[in-house]
């Protein structure tokens, strides 16, 4: 049987200061092949490649990856400040409408970090520019030093809605996750259901209400060690099952 095709959203990178590329972390590719059993296809986050409808029609579902640039605050009615960091307006132009169209079409989507934040903005939510500046919040950013394993190590727990979709997938209402983000959800969109929070109340797991297909997002990075991590593996396995179910329809 042919594996379902999952579009992995790329990120703009500049090599050597002047050579622009669209890149996807190998962790994301490995997660989709080893833990979700899907065929990954890199989707450039560039409006110039074609219409969002064409992109939608090409894949059975989509993985909205993390990325250093942030969603521009104009998409949720705010002015940009230094705290908002850098932006990728081309990615915004592709992902925000693609998320809405994929959900409407029942195509499975999974958002990671920036992808999690994109899902909230796509459905009318807002973002905090810097979580660690809020009273009572921990520093969720990636440790500035250390090995890759140390940077992606588990940092805090996430408490889940015991009756929610994530608790069903994980078979538990509390999980340990890594933390490598600066921004986060401020106001959830009308259809954005928060199913998991860190101990400092930061939203960490969401689903889109009324979605006819798999439509989940996480603020952490489950793509690291996805085939072996006890939380990442079932999340990608569930995503893979949803991709196959959609393809077999």
Q: Which residues are catalytic?
A: 113, 221, 223
Q: 3-state SS of 166-220?
A: HHHHHCCCEEEECCCCCCEECCCCCCEEEEEEECCCCEEEEEECCCCCCEEEECC
Neighbours of 108 (CB within 10 A): 30
Alpha-carbon separation of residue 29 from 39, 51, 75, 177, 221 (angstroms): 9, 24, 29, 20, 13
Maximal CA-CA distance, the chain: 52
Helix 89-105 crosses helix 114-122 at what angle (to 10 degrees)? 70
Residue 119 φ/ψ, nearest 5 degrees: -60, -40
> Is the CB of residue 80 less than 8 Å from the CB of residue 71?
no
Alpha-carbon separation of residue 129 from 40, 82, 86, 182, 183 (angstroms): 31, 9, 11, 7, 5
Can you tell me the distance from the alpha carbon of 68 to that of 20, in angstroms, rounded to the nearest whole number? 15
Q: Give the tokens for residue 219.
A: 């603020």
CA 158 remoteness from chain centre: 16
């Amino acid at each position: 049987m042919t594996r379902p095709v999952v579009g992995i959203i790329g990120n703009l990178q500049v090599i050597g200061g002047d050579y622009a590329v669209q890149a996807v972390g190998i962790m994301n590719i490995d997660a989709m092949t080893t833990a979700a059993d899907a065929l990954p296809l890199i989707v450039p986050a560039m409006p110039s490649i074609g219409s969002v409808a064409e992109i939608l029609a090409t894949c059975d579902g989509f993985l909205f990856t993390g990325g250093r640039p942030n969603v521009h605050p104009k998409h949720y009615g705010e002015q940009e400040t230094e705290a908002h960091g850098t932006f990728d307006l081309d990615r915004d132009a592709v992902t925000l409408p693609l998320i809405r169209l994929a959900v409407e079409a029942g195509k499975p989507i999974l958002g990671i970090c920036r992808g999690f934040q994109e899902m909230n903005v796509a459905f009318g939510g807002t973002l905090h520019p810097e979580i660690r500046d809020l009273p009572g919040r921990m520093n969720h950013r990636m440790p500035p030093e250390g090995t890759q394993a140390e940077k992606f190590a588990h940092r805090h727990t996430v408490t889940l809605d015991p009756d929610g979709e994530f608790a069903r997938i994980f078979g538990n209402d509390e999980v340990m996750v890594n933390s490598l983000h600066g921004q986060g959800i401020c106001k959830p969109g009308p259809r954005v259901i928060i199913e998991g929070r860190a101990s400092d109340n930061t939203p960490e797991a969401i689903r889109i209400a009324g979605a006819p297909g798999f439509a989940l997002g996480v603020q952490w990075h489950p793509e690291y060690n996805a085939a072996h991590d006890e939380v990442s593996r079932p999340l990608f396995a569930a995503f893979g099952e949803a991709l196959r179910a959609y393809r077999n329809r």
